[in-house]
Structure 1
Amino acid sequence: MPLPLSPNHAEDKATDGFYCYSYDACSTSKSMTNPWWQADLQKAYVVSALIVKARDDGSSFSQVEIRFGNSPTISQNPVFGTHPGSTPPAGTFLTFRPPNPMEGRYLSFQALEYAGIFICELQIIEA
C-alpha cells in the first residue's frame, strides 16, 4: 500500500494541478515490496492516455504496472499499461496508451519489485 514518507509526499501531490518536478512536491511511497498508488476519480471516465512525469533526480520508476477499471480492488481491473525495464532518464514524460480507450473510475500504479512509487505529475487524457 502507498505509505507517504511525510505529509509533503502525500498521494494527491501527483494530481493537485500544481506542475512541479521537485522531490518535495511529488507523491512518493516508502520502498517496500510491490508498493502501489491509487486514485478514485469519483466517477467513470473513458481514458485514452496517461502522461506521467518522472522525478528530475532519476529516482526509480521501473517495473510498474498501471491498471484502470471500475473496481476499488486493484487486481480486478485490467492492465492499462506497463513500464518494464529501467528507470527513465530524469525528468522524462512517460506516455501510456492502451490499444483502445478504457473506461474506469479507479487508476492504480504498482511497482512489481522492491521499490517505491514516485509520481510527480499525472495527466489523464479523456477519449
Structure 2
Amino acid sequence: MYVTVRPLGEQCILAPQEEYPWREGVGSGGGRGAGESLEAGGRDRESTGQAVQSSTYGWGAANATFSTWGAAKAIDGIRYAPGSASSCSITDKELNPWWRLDLLDSYYISSVTITNRGDGWLEQTTGVEIRIGNSLENNGNNNPRCGVTSSVPAGSSVSFSCGGMEGRYVNMYIPNIQAVLSLCEVEVYGTV
C-alpha cells in the first residue's frame, strides 16, 4: 500500500496506489492516475501511508476476516466496487467511529474527496467530519475541521476544499452518535 506524492507544478497529489508505487514517468497500471505520465524529468516521491480505524465490521463474524472491511480498503485505489461494499472500510456500529490516514509527513492539504458505497446505506457517510492536523489527541479527532458531509448519494463522491490546512493526519469522524462509518475511497490532495 502506498500513498504517492506526484508533483504537478507546485501542486502535489497524495493518492493511493493499489499494487506498486509510481515509477519515473510511468503510471502503475493500478490505482488512480494509471497511464498518466509525469512532466518531462519529473520524479515521483513516494511514502507508505498507513490507515487505521476505530473498529472493523465483522471482526467477530465467522465468515469475515479482519481485512474484509479494514481501514486500508479506503485507500486501495478502487472507488466503485460492485456488490456489498467489498472494497470499502466499514467500522462496527459504535459511539464516535473514526478512520485515520497517516501521511507520515506533514503536508498542506488543498482538498479531500470521499466516495460512498454503491449499495445503499447513505447514513454511513452522513455527518462525517474531515479533520486535518498533526495531533493524535483523541485519535486525531480533535484536529481542525475541514468540512462535514451531508448525505452522499450511493456510489457518489464529494470533495471538500481544505484551503491548505497543514497536517500529517487526515481523519474521518462521526461525533456524538452511535453509527457505522463506511468509506469506499478517500483521496487527499495537497502540497509539500
Instruction: State the TM-score bracket (shorter-chain normalisation).
Output: 0.7 to 0.9
Q: Report the TM-score, using the length of structure 1 for normalisation.
A: 0.88
State whether residues 32 and 115 of structure 1, in contact with CA within 8 Å, keep that contact through their aligned partners in structure 2: yes
Q: Distance in 1 between matches of 2:81 and 2:55?
A: 20
**Corresponding residue for residue 73 of structure 2:** 13
Structure 1 residue 88 displacement after superposition: 2.0
Runs of 4 or more, structure 1, over 3 Å off, are: 18-22
Output the aligned Cα RMSD: 1.6
Which of structures 1 and 2 has the larger relative contact order (alpha carbons within 8 angstroms, sep 6+)? 1
Structure 2 residue corresponding to 1:4, chosen from 56, 62, 78: 56
Q: Distance in 2 between matches of 1:90 and 1:75?
A: 25
Q: Is the 8 A contact 1:48 1:97 kept in 2?
A: yes
Query: Post-superposition shift, 1:122?
Result: 1.0
Higher Cα Rg, which structure: 2
Relative to structure 1, the CA distance from residue 75 to residue 53 in structure 2 (aligned partners, 3 Å threshold; closer, same or farther) is: closer
CA distance in 1, matches of 2:141, 2:185: 23
Specify which structure has the higher proportion of helix: 1
The aligned residue for residue 29 of structure 1 is: 91
Pairing 1:103–2:166 present: yes
Structure 2 vs 1, CA of residues 109 and 52 (structure 1 numbering), >3 Å: closer, same or farther? Answer: same
Matches within 5 A, 1:55-74: 55-59=117-121, 60-73=124-137, 74=140
Deviations 1:33-90 (A, max 9, x none): 1111111110011111011110001222111111100112224411111114xx3221
The residue aligned with 1:120 is 184
Cα distance 1:105–1:121, how it changes in 2: closer, same or farther (>3 A)? Answer: same
Percent of paired sites with the same residue? 31
Whether the 8 Å CA contact 2:141–2:173 is kept in 1: the answer is no
Measured against aligned partners, the alpha-carbon deviations of 1:6-51 in whole angstroms (never above 9, x if no partner) come to 4211101111233433411111100111111111110011111011
| Cα shift at 1:91 | 0.7
User: 55-64 or 12-21: which moved more?
Assistant: 12-21
Structure 1: stretches of 5+ with no match in the other structure: none
- Which runs of 5 or more residues in structure 2 are unaligned? 1-52, 58-65
Give TM-score, length-normalised by structure 2: 0.60
The separation in 1 between residues aligned to 2:189 and 2:179, in whole angstroms, is 27
